[in-house]
Structure 1
Amino acid sequence: MLLSLKHNFLFVHIAKTGGTSVRAALSRYRYRGVYGLPMFLADKLDQMTGHRIGAKFPRHAKAIAAKEMLPAELYEGLFKFVFVRNPWDLQVSSFFHIRRERPEVLEGVETFEQFVRLKFDPERPWNYMLDTSRELQRDYVVDLHGNLIVDFIGHYENLQEDFDTVCERIGVPRMALPHKRKAEGRDDFRRYYTDETAEIVGEHYRSDIETFGYRFE
């Protein structure tokens, strides 16, 4: 989550949706304005204490966290935006990311099909190290009653174009997004699925698929 009080925006960062690139582009606006120094000091103190004092929003906090913690008039006045991604494509990205960054988590897992079966096995407790992409993206943008509480939902599939819209809305110059954590050596996501694994992912993310209009085809 990235908050700028001077530029009046709140970015809700869902994992594996291009958010690292968005953060890199907008981080320069984070500590500007009259509250910039207190925010900077709070963030540093939080890091120094191992996040024990809870002085900043976690990187992948949901919008409801900000709505509950910020004054109502402040939250309502912010331009709140998020990026989402096709759930089937997201799982392929997750597989390659974990295999590259934390291969020990996938010990004994050689294929994408094995990864999907492990990640969504109803008989196994959820291993957070298999990353937050098991969570529903919809949960990041709604309140406790299921009401949408963000102002703009961008799509990874149109990342630069939708980011340009964000820049216009928050009043900063358009900029080319840097390529952060870009996966190398992967094919179109559809090629990694069998009918059965596509159904497993589709069932788990049914509410995301319905809310954001995604399809496997």
Structure 2
Amino acid sequence: MLLSPGHRFLFIHIAKTGGTSVRAALARRRWADPWYWPMFLCSRLSHLSGHRIGTKLPRHAKAIAAKELLPREVFEGLFKFAFVRNPWDLQVSSFHHIRRERPQYLGGHQDFASFLRWKLDPARPPQYHLDTSIELQSDYLIDLHGNLIVDFVGRYERLEPDFDEVCSRIGIAAPRLPHRRQANDRGADYRRYYDDATAELVARHFAADIKRLGYRFDGIDGAVSA
């Protein structure tokens, strides 16, 4: 999550949706925010009192966390945005990320299909690095009553034009969007990783995302529903 009180925006960073590139592009603007350095110092020094203050929200915190922690008028005055991704594509990306950077979390499953079945098995003991990618993306965007509480939901599939729209809404010139953490160990078409059974497994597990975010196995079906 990236908060800029000066530029009045809040970026909700859902893992594996291009968020690292978005954060990098907006970092310079954040450093120029007159509120950034006081917030940074308060966060670093607050431990001296024995308490941490909420000036730095967790990287992958949900929008509801900011709504609960920030004063109501501050939260409502922010332009809140996030990016989402086709759930079938996201699972392929997650598999390659874990295999490349944390192979000890594969659970002995070296191919995508067996790893996916094991990862989505409800009887499997939870593991942090796996369970962030089996959470619903829509849960990052809603309040406790299921209401959408962000102002704009961009898509990984059209990252650059949607990022330009974000910058226009913030009121800044769009900086170049760097390609951070770009994988080169997978094919471009996520669909070739699936058979009917594994595609249906993702469809069942992420049914709420598919419905709310307007995705289908082979693309985008519609807009994000409120």
Q: TM-score range by the shorter chain?
A: over 0.9
In structure 2, give the amino acid aligned to 1:213.
G
RMSD across aligned C-alpha pairs, in angstroms? Answer: 1.7
Q: Secondary structure at the match of 2:129?
A: helix
Counterpart mapping for 1:1-217 below 5 A: 1-45=1-45, 53=52, 55=54, 56-187=56-187, 188-217=189-218
- Which deviations, in whole Å up to 9, do the C-alpha atoms of 1:34-84 show, x marking residues without a partner? 4222211134347x89xx725321000000000011111111110000000
Spell out, residue by residue over 1:80-137, the C-alpha distance to the aligned partner (whole angstroms, 9 max, x if none). Answer: 0000000000000000001111111115211000110111012212221225111000
For the residue of structure 2 that corresponds to 1:3, the secondary structure is strand
SS at structure 1 position matched to 2:216: coil
After alignment, is 115-124 or 141-150 more displaced?
115-124
Distance 1:11 1:183 in 2: 23
Change (3 A) 1:158 1:43: farther
- Unaligned stretches of 5+ residues in structure 2: 219-226
Distance 2:184 2:44 in 1: 34
SS at match of 1:122: coil
Q: In terms of mean alpha carbon deviation, does 82-91 or 167-176 score higher?
A: 167-176
Query: What's the CA shift for 1:4?
Result: 0.5
CA distance in 2: counterparts of 1:20 and 1:6, whole angstroms = 21
* Alignment check: 8 A CA contact 2:81 2:153 kept: yes
Distance 1:34 1:19 in 2: 23
Q: Name the SS of the counterpart of 1:11 in structure 2.
A: strand
Q: Are the equivalent residues in 2 in contact too, given 1:10–1:78 (CA < 8 A)? A: yes
Give the SS at the match of 1:133. Answer: coil
Deviates more, 1:120-129 or 1:57-66: 120-129
TM score, norm. by length of structure 1: 0.93
Give the secondary structure class of the aligned counterpart of 1:30: helix
| Conserved 8 A contact 2:64-2:141 | yes
The answer to whether the 8 A contact 1:31-1:40 is kept is no
Mark the CA change 1:43 to 1:18 in structure 2 (over 3 Å): closer, same or farther. Answer: farther
Kept in 2: contact 1:160–1:176 (CA 8 A): no
Question: Quick one: which amino acid aligns to residue 203 of structure 1?
Answer: R
Once residues 4 and 142 of structure 1 are traced to their aligned partners in structure 2, the CA distance between those partners, rounded to angstroms, is 20
2:12 counterpart letter in structure 1: V
The 2-side partners of 1:54 and 1:132 are apart by 25
Q: Which segments of 5 or more consecutive residues in structure 1 lack a partner in the other structure?
A: none
The alpha-carbon distance between structure 1 residues 131 and 176, as it changes in their structure 2 partners (threshold 3 A), is farther
Letter in 2 for 1:70: L
Distance 1:91 1:76 in 2: 33
Distance 1:215 1:77 in 2: 34
- Report deviation, 1:176: 2.2
Q: The residue matched to 1:134 in structure 2 has which SS?
A: coil
CA distance in 2, matches of 1:25, 1:43: 23
Query: Is the 2:43–2:53 contact (alpha carbons within 8 Å) kept by the matching residues of 1?
Result: no
- Distance (Å, rounded) in 1 between the aligned partners of 2:131 and 2:28: 27
